[in-house]
Structure 1
Amino acid sequence: MAAADEEKTAFHTGQGVYCYTKMPFSLKNAGATYQRLIDKAFENQMGRNIEVYVDDLLPSPQTIKEVQSLNRKLASLNRFLSKSAEKSLPLFQTLKKCIKKSDFRWTTEAEHAFQQLKQHLSALSLLAAPKPQEELIMYLSATHGAISAVLLTERGT
């Protein structure tokens, strides 16, 4: 952010008046500015080994630890995705026989599965407000320490 524009982001608190020195995401054009700069910075890698979302970068894993992290995330989504195990199997297979870091190989099959999973996840249903008189379904989960609920409806595509 230009120093001359910092005062335009000023806000008051009980401790004083402050302003941002970097562009906060709450500004009107922050998303578009971010996307434009990221597109420019990663233009040679986008679509090849990195995907850019509004506030996330999702590069292909390059190490055993990165694949393990991705596999943990996919495992937590397993019950929400149809044929999740089948779709993510090539990612799990990259860890097979990886005793040393040098044994790790990111295969074309794993890359293809990774791209397919990203495409599948980005095409999932979106959050939307319920329509009046629409039948709603409530899913509840309760433990001794917490209660959570999800309210949803099923609609055609």
Structure 2
Amino acid sequence: MPGIDPGFLCHRLAVCRDARPIAQKKRKMGDEKRKAANVEVQKLLHAKFIREVTYTTWLANVVLVKKSNGKWRMCTDYTDLNKACPKDAYPLPCIGRLVDGASGHAIFSFLDAYSGYNQIKMHPADEEKTTFITENANFCYKVMPFGLKNAGATYQRLMDKVFRDQIGRNIEIYVDDMVVKSNSMEDHAADLAEAFGALRKHNMRLNPEKCTFGVKGGKFLGFMLSSRGIEANRDKCQVVIDMWSPSNLKELQRLSGRLVALSRFLPRLGDKITLETPPTLTRPDPLNPLLIYLAVSDEAISSVLVQERGGSQVPVYFVSRLLQDAET
């Protein structure tokens, strides 16, 4: 796979100068995991994503994680290397803005890059810092692997450069999530041709098995997009409905995270019953005024943004929360 021209963009590791290289001790693996790791290594060698190295200073173990389909995913434990690298503060897009910008269109295509991270080359000087241990040899990555601290920032930087003339106009991108949006099938054909032209120019490849073209709705960043607007992900709603009351801090944090993701749909965030029929949110029209309704009780405060559409008011966004002791 040709991949991105390193002269256009490659991944660098800004390892702190005073960081001491750490070589992890080899961890034991069961037979099933060891065989799965060997299979994955052979795939990476065949794709020319890795190469064998000797006398390395940084060394990490591989971690095998079972996927939902029963197959194994091989990851690398770059904990030590990541600690030695400062965070890349490249700005990621606001998810709310992307979802608002993509919703309300008639036709969508959802794109998925083929081994997206692996299409970006590692800088040659940093390749050997990614070395990992296997049963028979040590290998380093020639391409950007998963698990590196700033890989997401590098990928977003690539997407912003490749699609800078399209983002916000006919495509929305958050790291490796891409959606092409149009208001008619004729426009969509032209928008897809423009996107494919940008991909072809930079030797990027898509995974056809994970792409969906010319549909009226679909999932994007955990939300359901359609011409009607933004809908809550019913699977996420059902998970919260089926949950028992949290019995420890970890379960409480898990519940809080799930509720935050759904909060914009819920006029009463604390009531499970509202999750059974969450409203469809309308994409805000910048040319029409926004109306805000407030509701306050002794224990909570809530508000909803609405706009006039066709003689009726439609919701744009909900916000609600409990009042703290000092606020009651």
User: What band does the TM-score fall into relative to the shorter chain?
Assistant: 0.3 to 0.5
Which entry has the higher C-alpha Rg, 1 or 2?
2
- Structure with the larger helix share: 1
Q: Compute the TM-score of the two structures, normalised by the length of structure 2.
A: 0.24
- Structure with the larger strand share: 2
